[in-house]
């Protein structure tokens, strides 16, 4: 199986605080990988490091390599904007711009040079269809995006990311602030996108990781404790810390 | 228990009533000044500004108003363009270095230096100590004085844009420049324009001490175009002892212009501001 992202000896520090400690992890192309672990385990830091978004935080130091299709994204000659276009991050609390639904999704394509209204309309239709929002919003494209429900906002932000045609999607805390119905719809979206995109998402819900992911990586205190097929890790964890976490003895 | 609650409620009502009275009392001087200027200034303003316009003859007050607009627009043009640049640089590019972190404080300090010191700078450096300075020296001095104010206004407006906007934009592959332009300046521009008008309303009245130093000669006789604030000053110094009413007209006109600028600033308050505040929380 082809590897989309290959993390090698990745360490991230915020000032003197160690967020990730020498993490090694491979993420296969077209798969969904769930990052699980308690709060402060380093899930968000790992996601941000996979697209160099961590550099936007003050005092961050990153050591090690992240290979995207065998190219180290931390090389000096790399165009960071290009990397972020290829590997798109949807943060824990997605923030739509105070614009219409149309302009929100058109933001990325316009930045990358798409100007024609018809071309933009096609991109928007395709992106909304992929996240299951087209039927709900096709007649409300000029509506303010911030008036949407939290679940719709999250899917809109995924659609906005898809509009720039990334190869990988990184989603920080899949169910953050969503009710069970909105979470289920979001899971459906990811199951549909899996295969076309490489997906890495952080979650606190074991059932969700079980339903959506092909692979699971358990992090604790900045270290990768265990990584493998979801079924294997959940049924036969190799490390007792993983077992404690997924069985709820420790959270 | 209920008695204590009632007592607490009564005490609260008394406390807020006192605070309400204090608020009204603190507004009284402003209302007093407005009414006094209105009562003393409306007649000279009508005689020396409105009537000449109606019958088509030259009005010194109108010329002063035009001169005010001229110097404000000229100097604001320079100050605004440079101020926006400084604000963007400090907010978006230098935010992690010492200059960026101390930028707001430095700008506030510069903006709070009394205008008379900028006038001294204009007279000593730009006019090389000569009286009878040119319009370009006056414009440049005013621009130098306004620059920290305008940069400060820009910086404040840009800092109101939630950091999440920047991150969302960069996560979509936008460069820092594109992010500054389309995800920051785009949403901050309404606030910047609105605040520029409000700042101009304040600055327009503070030009007099600066012009006293650098602009005495060209407008010394007050026959030509003299900015309003300076005209008020000269009229006060030269005419008040003779109990003339012209300064009241000039002062009233200055107040009306300043209030109009404030009103424009309030009217063009960005419609998106509530959304931005909501998203920022």
Q: List the domain boundaries for chain A.
A: 3-93+166-246
**Contact flag B174-A81 (C-beta cutoff 8 Å):** yes
Q: Who wins on pLDDT, A62 or B256? A: A62
The answer to the question of residue B34 being in a domain is: no
Q: Who wins on pLDDT, A174 or B35? A: B35
Contacts of residue B59, defined as CB under 8 A and 6 or more positions apart, other chains included, come to B48, B49, B52, B53
The answer to the question of residue B186 being in a domain is: yes
Mean pLDDT on A112-132:
93
Q: Is B217 on the interface with A (CB under 8 A)?
A: no
The answer to the question of residue B241 being in a domain is: yes
pLDDT above 70 (res B219): no
With bands split at pLDDT 50, 70 and 90, how would you rate the model's confidence at B220?
A: very low
Q: Is B269 on the interface with A (CB under 8 A)?
A: no
Structure tokens at A28: 């296969």
The answer to the question of residue B2 being in a domain is: no
Compute the distance between CA of residue A139 and CA of residue A148 in angstroms, rounded to an integer.
Answer: 14
Highest mean pLDDT among A27-36, B58-67, B76-85: A27-36
With bands split at pLDDT 50, 70 and 90, how would you rate the model's confidence at B169?
A: very high
Q: Is A1 on the interface with B (CB under 8 A)?
A: no
B173 contacts in chain A (CB < 8 Å): 81-82, 84-86, 88, 108, 111-112, 164
**Which H, E and C letters describe chain A, residue by residue?**
CCEEEEEEEEEEEECCEEEEEEEEEEEECCCEEEEECCCCCCHHHHHHHCCCHHHHCCCEEEEEEEEECCEECCCCCCCHHHHHHHEEEECCCCCCCCCEHHHHHHHHHHHCCCCCHHHHHHHHHHHHHHCCCHHHHCCCCCCEHHHCCHHHHHHHHHHHHHCCCCCEEEECCCCCCCCHHHHHHHHHHHHHHECCEEEEEECCCHHHHHHHCCEEEEEECCEEEEEEEHHHHHHCCCCHHHHHHHCCCCC
Q: Which range has the worst mean pLDDT, A225-229, B146-150, B182-186, B267-271?
A: B267-271
Q: Is B273 on the interface with A (CB under 8 A)?
A: no
CATH number of domain containing B270: 1.10.3720.10
Number of domains in chain B: 1
Mean pLDDT on A63-89:
94
B182 contacts in chain A (CB < 8 Å): 107, 110-111
- Domain made up of A3-93+166-246: CATH architecture: 3-Layer(aba) Sandwich (3.40)
The answer to the question of residue B21 being in a domain is: no
CB-based contacts of B214-223 (< 8 A; 24+ apart in sequence): B214/B119, B214/B122, B214/B123, B214/B126, B214/B127, B214/B133, B214/B137, B214/B138, B214/B141, B215/B133, B215/B138, B216/B131, B217/B131, B217/B132, B217/B133, B218/B132, B218/B133, B218/B134, B218/B135, B218/B138, B219/B67, B222/B60, B223/B60
The answer to the question of residue B263 being in a domain is: yes
With bands split at pLDDT 50, 70 and 90, how would you rate the model's confidence at B145?
A: confident
Which candidate in B97, B162, B171, B280 is best for mutational testing of the A interface (most A CBs within 10 A)?
A: B171
Compute the distance between CA of residue B39 and CA of residue A194 in angstroms, rounded to an integer.
Answer: 76
Residues A231/A225, Cβ–Cβ less than 8 Å: no
φ, ψ dihedrals at A100, nearest 5°: -70, 165
Q: Is B81 on the interface with A (CB under 8 A)?
A: no
Q: Is B278 on the interface with A (CB under 8 A)?
A: yes
Burial of A8 per CB tally in 10 Å (0-12, 13-18, 19+): middle
Residues B202/A113, Cβ–Cβ less than 8 Å: no
Q: Which range has the worst mean pLDDT, A28-42, A180-194, B40-54, B107-121?
A: B40-54
A84 contacts in chain B (CB < 8 Å): 170-173
Q: Is B166 on the interface with A (CB under 8 A)?
A: yes
Q: Who wins on pLDDT, A177 or B84? A: B84
Across chain B, what does the average pLDDT equal?
79
A153 contacts in chain B (CB < 8 Å): none
**Contact flag B168-A164 (C-beta cutoff 8 Å):** no
Structure tokens at A131: 């996240």
pLDDT above 50 (res B222): no
The answer to the question of residue B10 being in a domain is: no
Q: Is A58 on the interface with B (CB under 8 A)?
A: yes
Q: Who wins on pLDDT, B53 or B207? A: B207
Q: Which range has the worst mean pLDDT, A104-113, B93-102, B157-166, B190-199?
A: B93-102
CA of B187, closest CA in chain A: separation in Å? 8
Which residue from A92, A121, A93 is spatially nearest to A105, judged by alpha carbons? Answer: A121
Is B122 strand, coil or helix? Answer: helix
pLDDT above 50 (res B230): yes
**Contact flag B170-A53 (C-beta cutoff 8 Å):** yes
What would the pLDDT profile of B92-132 be if each residue is shown by its tens digit?
888 777 777 788 888 888 888 888 788 788 777 877 766 65
The answer to the question of residue B11 being in a domain is: no
CA of B155, closest CA in chain A: separation in Å? 19
What is the residue range of B190's domain? 60-280
């Amino acid at each position: 199986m082809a590897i989309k992202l290959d993390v090698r000896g990745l360490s991230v520090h915020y000032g003197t605080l160690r967020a990730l400690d020498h993490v090694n992890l491979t993420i296969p192309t077209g798969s969904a990988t769930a990052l699980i672990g308690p709060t402060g385990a380093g899930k968000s830091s790992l996601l941000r490091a996979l697209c160099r978004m961590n550099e936007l935080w003050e005092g961050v130091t990153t050591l090690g390599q992240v290979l995207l299709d065998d190219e180290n994204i931390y090389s000096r000659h790399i165009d960071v904007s290009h990397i972020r276009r290829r590997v798109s991050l949807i943060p824990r609390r997605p923030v739509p711009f105070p614009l219409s639904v149309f302009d929100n999704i058109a933001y990325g394509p316009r930045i990358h040079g798409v100007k024609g209204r018809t071309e933009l309309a096609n991109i928007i239709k395709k992106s909304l269809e992929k996240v299951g929002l087209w039927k709900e919003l096709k007649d409300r494209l000029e509506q303010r995006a911030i008036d949407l429900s939290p679940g719709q906002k999250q899917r809109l932000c995924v659609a906005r990311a898809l509009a720039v045609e990334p190869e990988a999607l990184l989603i920080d805390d899949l169910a953050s602030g969503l009710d069970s119905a909105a979470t289920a719809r979001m899971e459906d979206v990811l199951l549909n996108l899996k295969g076309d995109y490489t997906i890495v998402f952080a979650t606190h819900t074991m059932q969700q990781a079980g339903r959506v992911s092909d692979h699971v990586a358990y992090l604790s205190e900045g270290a990768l404790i265990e990584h493998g097929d979801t079924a294997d890790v959940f049924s036969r964890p190799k490390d007792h810390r993983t077992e404690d976490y997924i069985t709820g003895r420790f959270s | 228990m209920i008695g204590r609650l009632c007592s607490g409620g009564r005490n609260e009502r008394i406390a807020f009533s006192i605070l309400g009275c204090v608020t009204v009392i603190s507004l009284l001087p402003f209302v007093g000044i407005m009414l006094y200027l209105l009562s003393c200034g409306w007649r000279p303003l009508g005689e020396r500004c409105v009537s000449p316009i109606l019958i088509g003859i030259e009005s010194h007050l109108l010329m002063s108003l035009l001169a005010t607009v001229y110097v404000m627009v000229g100097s604001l043009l320079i100050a605004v363009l440079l101020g926006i640049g400084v604000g963007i640089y400090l907010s978006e590019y230098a935010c992690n270095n010492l200059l960026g972190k101390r930028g707001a404080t430095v700008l506030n300090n510069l903006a709070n230096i009394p205008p008379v010191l900028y006038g001294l700078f204009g007279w000593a450096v730009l006019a090389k100590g000569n009286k009878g300075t040119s319009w370009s020296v006056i414009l440049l001095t005013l621009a130098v004085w306004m620059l920290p104010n305008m940069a400060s206004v820009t910086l404040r407006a840009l800092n109101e844009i939630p950091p999440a906007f920047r991150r969302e934009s960069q996560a979509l592959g936008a460069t820092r420049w594109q992010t500054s332009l389309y995800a920051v300046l785009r949403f901050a521009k309404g606030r910047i324009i609105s605040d520029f008008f409000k700042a101009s309303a304040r600055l327009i009245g503070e030009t007099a001490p600066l012009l006293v130093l650098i602009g005495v000669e060209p407008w010394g006789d007050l026959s030509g175009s003299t900015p309003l604030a300076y005209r008020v000053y000269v009229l006060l110094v030269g005419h008040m002892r003779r109990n003339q009413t012209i300064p009241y007209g000039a002062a009233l006109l200055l107040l009306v212009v300043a209030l109009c600028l404030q009103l424009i600033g309030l009217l063009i308050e960005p419609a998106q501001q509530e959304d931005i505040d909501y998203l920022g929380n």
